[in-house]
C-alpha cells in the first residue's frame, strides 16, 4: 500500500505531467500557426511523451493500492516571441519538472517508501535526457539566430522525430 503522503504527491505530479503535455501542445499550435511544421511535430512528440509519463504515474498509484485524484489543468501560455524563446521556456520548464521529481524522491525517502523511490529513478534518468535535448536545441537556435535558411533546416530536422513510448522500456 502506498503511503498517503506519497499518494498525494504523485497525484500532484500527475497534474504537472498533464500540464506539461498541454504546454507542449500549445507550443505545437504556435509553431503550426507560424508555418514551422517540424518544430510543431517535435512538440507533438513531447506532448505524447508527457501523456505517457502521467499515465505511468496514474498506473503506479493504482498498482500500489492508492487512489488517483485528477484536478483542473492550468491553461498554458499560447504564444512565444520566436522558436528561440519557445525553447528557452521548454528548458526552463524541464528544469522545473526535474525539481518536482527530485521533491518526489525526497518524499519517498522521508516516508521510507523504497518501492516508490525505485520507481522514480526512471524519471530522474528521463529528466536528464529531457533537459539535455532541450538544451541542445536551444544551443542550435542561439547559433543560427536570424538565419532563415538554417531555421528552415532545423525545422526539417526536428520534424523527423517520432514518438517512442520509453515508459515501456525497463
Query: Per-residue pLDDT averaged across 93-101, rounded?
Result: 98
Half-sphere exposure of 16 (CA within 13 A, CB side): 18
C-alpha cell at 18: 498533464
Domains parsed from the chain with CATH numbers: 4-163 (1.20.1260.10)
Query: Per-residue pLDDT averaged across 19-23, rounded?
Result: 98
Residue 164: per-residue pLDDT:
87
Place of cell 521533491: 103
Contact 53, 17 (CB under 8 A): yes
pLDDT beyond 90 at 146: no
Q: Radius of gyration of the chain from Cα atoms? A: 17
Query: Per-residue pLDDT averaged across 76-91, rounded?
Result: 97
C-alpha cell at 130: 529531457
Phi and psi at residue 91, in whole multiples of 5°? -65, -45
Amino acid at each position: 500500500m502506498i503511503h498517503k503522503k506519497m499518494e498525494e504527491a504523485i497525484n500532484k505530479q500527475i497534474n504537472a505531467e498533464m500540464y506539461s503535455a498541454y504546454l507542449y501542445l500549445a507550443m505545437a499550435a504556435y509553431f503550426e500557426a507560424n508555418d514551422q511544421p517540424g518544430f510543431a511535430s517535435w512538440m507533438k512528440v513531447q506532448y505524447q511523451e508527457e501523456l505517457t509519463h502521467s499515465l505511468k504515474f496514474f498506473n503506479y498509484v493504482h498498482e500500489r493500492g492508492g487512489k488517483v485524484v485528477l484536478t483542473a489543468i492550468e491553461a498554458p501560455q499560447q504564444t512565444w516571441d520566436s522558436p528561440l524563446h519557445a525553447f528557452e521556456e521548454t528548458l526552463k520548464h524541464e528544469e522545473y519538472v526535474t525539481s518536482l521529481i527530485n521533491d518526489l524522491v525526497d518524499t519517498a525517502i522521508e516516508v521510507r517508501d523504497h518501492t516508490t523511490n525505485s520507481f522514480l529513478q526512471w524519471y530522474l534518468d528521463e529528466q536528464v535526457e529531457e533537459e539535455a535535448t532541450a538544451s541542445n536545441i536551444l544551443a542550435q537556435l542561439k547559433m543560427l539566430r536570424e538565419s532563415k535558411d538554417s531555421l528552415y533546416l532545423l525545422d526539417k530536422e526536428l520534424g523527423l522525430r517520432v514518438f517512442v513510448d520509453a515508459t515501456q522500456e525497463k
